[in-house]
Structure 1
Amino acid sequence: MKIALAGVGDVGLCLAIEFCKSEDEVVVLTSSIKPVLEHLDAEIRLTDYSVDDLKQKLDDCDAVVSALSGPNEFYISAHSNILEVCSQSRRCKHFIPSEWNINLDDFPDQPMFSSATHEVVRNKLRSQHGVKWTMICHGWFMEYVLPGAKNPLREIGLAWAMNHSTKTFDVYADGLQKVTLTSTADTARAVLAILRDSIDNCADLSPVTLLAGQTLTYRELFQLIKSRDPAWKSNPVTFSEVLGDIFEGLKGNDPGVAVHQMRILGFTNANHNPKGKALEWGTGVLQGLRATTVEEFLDQAEAGKCK
């Protein structure tokens, strides 16, 4: 396959690194040249994400995977233009939009700050039939269990339960809500397998594809982390506390309110991909693949195998 990856922010770069380990040809679409791209075994193509430009950049590709994020207007226009080009293309007929994270099967309205924007793109995808597409949902990226120096993804503060600088773990309510953690590498390998199956076997794609590396309750994750480093302390967080922070943020037009809106996920199962709904590792589409557990991931990080 020849895969185009649109956007090489933190998530995009992690996906690109893993894509380049495969036997597939990789094209990276980016609006500007970045030093980190010099070490990728991929063809770098500059684009302004307009329809006319994308027609040239995607002409020889089989599929597009997007890791593009906001601002909102750009997210909508870039994804709409990619979809339009794929609909006109004779070859590039597979598209994975930039969704990631949330179990969109059960929680399509989360997170609050982006659901409306993403729904615009989703409706465009649903209203056409010439391009095969799926939204990949993996829970949280496992990289967030790592401290900043080893985590290749951007710092998101209170949006994630673990504060590595203070070794404080937020436990939402009773801590029994489940969270699914999947590494970026496992996610990338699964994406390639899903696309390869659809392209080679003309298999249909479900609108939502759930992946599940390892699922734990927040309380179980805290105990796992604490068992490896007793310095970690739990910090009980109440729903009313988070709602109050959201209210104050909205009242003051604080852009940082998005962080508190993300905290709502901890009181729900929005980042839980249930067994039976998620693809099963080692069989079917994911034949030959296995998921990394949190313990294995932490061991790899300690051995210097994770960034």
Structure 2
Amino acid sequence: MSERHVIALAGGTGDLGRYIHEELVKDDSYTVALLTRKTSPPPSTLPHTTVHTTDYTHSSILQILNATKATALISTIRCDHVDFLEPHKALVQACLDSKSCKRFIPSEWAGDIESFPAIPRFYAETRGPLREYLKSIPKNDLQWTLFNLGWFMEYFIPAGKSYMKLLPGEFPFDLEKCTYAVRGGGDVLQSCTFGRDVGRAVAVLLGVDEWEPVTYVSSEWYTMNEAAAKLEKFYGRTFSRTHRSLEEINAALAAAEKDPSTDPLELAQIEQWEVSGATACPREKTLRQREKYFSSLKFVTIDEMLKMGKEMDHV
């Protein structure tokens, strides 16, 4: 068997990071160098893994990359505001200065960032500057891609059934309370992907020689109204509905622009993300990339996810 490539994983103890970690070490091609801020991190329970403490400064990351001989660095670090850019620029610079790590996947994990680069606004404020920084780097110095997937499909199953933490208030369905917040008319196209399928797709993509600047996966395209019908049929319950008009969403955004301390700002931005269609990965490009990169994978559908969530303790 050929020697395993070392993949450095920042944020690998979080929701998506755990899926990516598990899928990478299942592949005979990879081991994982897990980056963590914890001063005394416990050893990983997964095989083919080393754990490394870092403060996410350039020197700290560079030392880890060189010591492990990592060939790629993936970030799932989610910080929505001022704390995002500095550590990610340090990750990029460490890759550039390292002896072996010349591939990078930053923390995007969103929707159609090409058609809607400024939605949600907190992504434009954080990911936007990093995207421009990456574009300024010669391709021969660092290969990178922005990986996107729509909503995480785990939001359709009860809490505790997956690694993904539910987003009460942000995602329009609350399974515990049987509620559905209809934003706009609920008929704008969305897309979603199972977190573990994202991990599988990342593992496959690491074996591809050339990356495109933006990579998409989507298990399924649907409207929130269509999802509501699926959920009500599957769970045998009628979800009570509240309604949030486009005018109300726009008014909340405008009010927060004038006074950020009012802070339904992020919720209003998430609502805008949903009703604008920015959550839906572009179908034509996504299907083309599925055929190009991910034809070996079978992506879980919403119906399959609902069944898994009912039958299994954890998915």
Report the TM-score, using the length of structure 2 for normalisation. 0.88
Larger mean Cα displacement after TM superposition, 99-108 or 70-79 = 70-79
Report if the CA contact (8 A) 1:281-1:291 is conserved: no
State the Cα distance separating 1:296 from its structure 2 match: 0.7
The alignment partner of 1:292 has SS state of coil
Alignment equivalent of 1:181, drawn from 192, 198, 202: 192
CA distance in 2, matches of 1:220, 1:148: 21
Residue identity opposite 1:70 in structure 2: C
Larger mean Cα displacement after TM superposition, 12-21 or 260-269 = 12-21
Unaligned 5+ runs, structure 1: none
CA distance in 1, matches of 2:40, 2:279: 31
Alignment equivalent of 2:148, drawn from 123, 137, 143: 137
The alignment partner of 2:227 has SS state of helix
Q: Deviations over 1:224-266 (max 9, x none)?
A: 1111123232433211222333445553604452122101122
Unaligned 5+ runs, structure 2: none
Larger mean Cα displacement after TM superposition, 8-17 or 117-126 = 8-17
Structure 2 residue 204 is matched with structure 1 residue 193: yes
Aligned residue for 1:56? 63
Residue identity opposite 1:207 in structure 2: P
Q: Deviations over 1:61-110 (max 9, x none)?
A: 11011011216333111111111111122311100000112211211111
Aligned residue for 1:306? 314
Aligned residue for 1:4? 8
Report if the CA contact (8 A) 2:44-2:51 is conserved: no
The alignment partner of 2:191 has SS state of strand
Q: Deviations over 1:20-53 (max 9, x none)?
A: 3222111111111687864233211111111111
Aligned residue for 2:305? 297
Alignment equivalent of 1:76, drawn from 76, 85, 92: 85
Give RMSD over aligned pairs: 2.1
The alignment partner of 1:62 has SS state of strand
The alignment partner of 1:157 has SS state of coil
Structure 2 residue 233 is matched with structure 1 residue 223: no
CA distance in 1, matches of 2:40, 2:101: 26
Larger mean Cα displacement after TM superposition, 60-69 or 157-166 = 157-166
Structure 2 residue 122 is matched with structure 1 residue 113: yes
The alignment partner of 1:91 has SS state of coil
Report if the CA contact (8 A) 1:101-1:271 is conserved: yes
With over 3 angstroms needed to count, the CA separation of the structure-2 counterparts of 1:44 and 1:256, relative to structure 1, is farther
With over 3 angstroms needed to count, the CA separation of the structure-2 counterparts of 1:252 and 1:96, relative to structure 1, is closer
Larger mean Cα displacement after TM superposition, 170-179 or 45-54 = 170-179
CA distance in 1, matches of 2:283, 2:80: 34
CA distance in 1, matches of 2:188, 2:273: 9
Residue identity opposite 1:74 in structure 2: D
The alignment partner of 1:170 has SS state of strand
Residue identity opposite 2:314 in structure 1: C
With over 3 angstroms needed to count, the CA separation of the structure-2 counterparts of 1:254 and 1:58, relative to structure 1, is farther
CA distance in 2, matches of 1:74, 1:40: 29
Aligned residue for 1:270? 278
Structure 2 residue 247 is matched with structure 1 residue 243: no
Structure 2 residue 132 is matched with structure 1 residue 123: yes
Report if the CA contact (8 A) 1:156-1:259 is conserved: no
Report if the CA contact (8 A) 1:279-1:286 is conserved: no
CA distance in 2, matches of 1:39, 1:243: 47
Residue identity opposite 1:150 in structure 2: K
CA distance in 1, matches of 2:294, 2:260: 47
Report if the CA contact (8 A) 2:62-2:94 is conserved: yes
CA distance in 1, matches of 2:109, 2:86: 19
Aligned residues: 302
Task: State how 1:38-49 maps to structure 2 within 5 Å.
Answer: 38-41=44-47, 42-49=49-56
Structure 2 residue 214 is matched with structure 1 residue 208: yes
Report if the CA contact (8 A) 1:213-1:292 is conserved: yes
With over 3 angstroms needed to count, the CA separation of the structure-2 counterparts of 1:243 and 1:222, relative to structure 1, is same
State the Cα distance separating 1:196 from its structure 2 match: 1.0
Alignment equivalent of 1:260, drawn from 254, 264, 268: 268
Residue identity opposite 1:210 in structure 2: Y
With over 3 angstroms needed to count, the CA separation of the structure-2 counterparts of 1:232 and 1:64, relative to structure 1, is farther
With over 3 angstroms needed to count, the CA separation of the structure-2 counterparts of 1:224 and 1:256, relative to structure 1, is same
The alignment partner of 1:253 has SS state of helix
